[in-house]
């Protein structure tokens, strides 16, 4: 690592070791936005190498896979709220980049691309959180920054500690604004490796029990090493093939569930699977390959309600 990055990461790791668990590590409910006239947005493909632009898209199959996700979550006891999608916002199926919550607050992200900025102007989602849950709104979308919420920012909610990867989808002003909006105790800011657009593709906080991450997703793998050292035996390192299959885009939900796509589960190495089971997780997976053509996977489709 560069000396200044090394010092920051090592200090952060030491702080993380000292920080006790003081909050729920998983959301009390989740929300989804259904795909409507699903297609691949060329704007998003400019900085998302995971998008499969050469592939044909079956909108009906994408919608059915999304319904199966909602059904599987509900069957596992995860409360689910679903919002309708819109043809003019094809990426709205990944709401966690645009809308996120902290206790009592709805946070609206500042999106890089116009096709996603339209999502941030939706009133129905805002109204539901205000009228039904009584949440106050923190709107980052009108500020001169880029902050794609829990795409760019991975949060260990149990400790209120954030890991924010800078890319075209998040700048330093956006990172600072998110640290305040989510009321984080500490935040580690680092550069993602070239070609990576969101932190939640290269790492996942595992309900306060540990962390899963791919060192090659960081511009400086030493930052990943420092994070892993802070979690010790509870850190799980995945390889580039697992990352490419969206293993890093998993999310812990409920008492012991760890959710990922069927393609991600199929890519798990035996050592990775064993490590997750050792942390007490039961792996749930849903076929999402049609939706994954848009460059995101299961975690990206989950909006968390804290």
For 120-138, write each residue's pLDDT tens digit: 999 999 999 999 999 999 9
pLDDT band at residue 198 using 50, 70 and 90 as cut-offs: very high
- Those residues whose C-beta lies under 8 Å from the C-beta of residue 76, and which sit 6 or more positions away, are 253, 254, 257, 284
pLDDT value at residue 294: 86
Tokens 């330093």 found at = 172
Tokens of 80: 């689910």
**pLDDT of 41 higher than 70:** no
- Architecture of the CATH domain 3-305: 5-stranded Propeller (3.75)
pLDDT over 90, % of the chain: 79
* Count of other CB atoms within 10 angstroms of residue 56: 7
pLDDT digits (tens, 9 = 90+) for 1-37: 555 666 778 888 888 888 889 899 999 999 999 998 7
Tell me the average pLDDT across 192-221: 96
**pLDDT of 248 higher than 80:** yes
pLDDT digits (tens, 9 = 90+) for 43-74: 665 666 776 767 778 889 999 999 999 999 99
Q: Where do the domains of the chain lie? A: 3-305
Tell me the average pLDDT across 278-304: 96
pLDDT digits (tens, 9 = 90+) for 83-119: 999 888 878 899 999 999 999 999 999 999 898 899 9
pLDDT value at residue 51: 64
Tell me the average pLDDT across 153-162: 97
Global pTM value: 0.92
In the beta sheet, which residues pair with residue 137? Answer: 106
Q: Are strands 161-166 and 153-156 parallel, antiparallel or unpaired?
A: antiparallel
Torsion from C-alpha of 99, 101, 105, 108, nearest 10 degrees: -20
Q: Are strands 105-108 and 136-139 parallel, antiparallel or unpaired?
A: parallel
DSSP string, 6-54: HHHHHHHHHHHHHPPP-S-SS-SEEEEE--SS----HHHHTT-TT--TT
């Amino acid at each position: 690592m560069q000396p200044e990055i090394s010092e920051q990461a090592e200090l952060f790791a030491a702080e993380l070791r000292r920080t006790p668990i003081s909050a729920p590590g998983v959301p009390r409910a989740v929300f989804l936005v259904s795909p409507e006239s699903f297609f691949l947005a060329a704007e998003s493909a400019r900085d998302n190498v995971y998008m499969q632009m050469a592939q044909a898209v079956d909108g009906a199959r994408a919608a059915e896979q999304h319904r199966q996700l909602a059904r599987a979550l509900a069957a596992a006891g995860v409360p689910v709220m679903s919002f309708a999608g819109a043809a003019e916002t094809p990426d709205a199926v990944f709401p966690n980049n645009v809308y996120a919550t902290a206790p009592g607050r709805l946070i609206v992200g500042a999106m890089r691309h116009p096709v996603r900025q339209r999502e941030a102007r939706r009133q129905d989602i805002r109204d539901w959180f205000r009228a039904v849950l009584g949440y106050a709104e923190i709107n980052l979308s009108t500020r001169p920054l880029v902050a794609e919420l829990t795409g760019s920012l991975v949060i260990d909610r149990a400790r209120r500690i954030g890991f924010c990867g800078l890319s075209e989808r998040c700048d330093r002003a956006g990172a600072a604004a998110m640290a305040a909006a989510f009321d984080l105790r500490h935040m580690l800011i680092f550069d993602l490796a070239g070609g990576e657009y969101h932190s939640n593709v290269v790492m996942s906080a595992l309900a306060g029990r540990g962390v899963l991450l791919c060192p090659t997703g960081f511009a400086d793998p030493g930052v990943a090493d420092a994070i892993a050292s802070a979690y010790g035996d509870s850190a799980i390192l995945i390889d580039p093939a697992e990352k490419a299959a969206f293993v890093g885009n998993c999310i812990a939900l409920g008492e012991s569930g760890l959710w990922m796509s069927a393609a991600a589960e199929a890519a798990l190495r035996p050592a990775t699977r064993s490590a997750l089971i050792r942390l007490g997780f039961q792996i749930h997976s849903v076929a999402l390959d049609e939706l994954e053509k848009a460059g995101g996977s299961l975690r990206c489709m989950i909006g968390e309600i804290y």
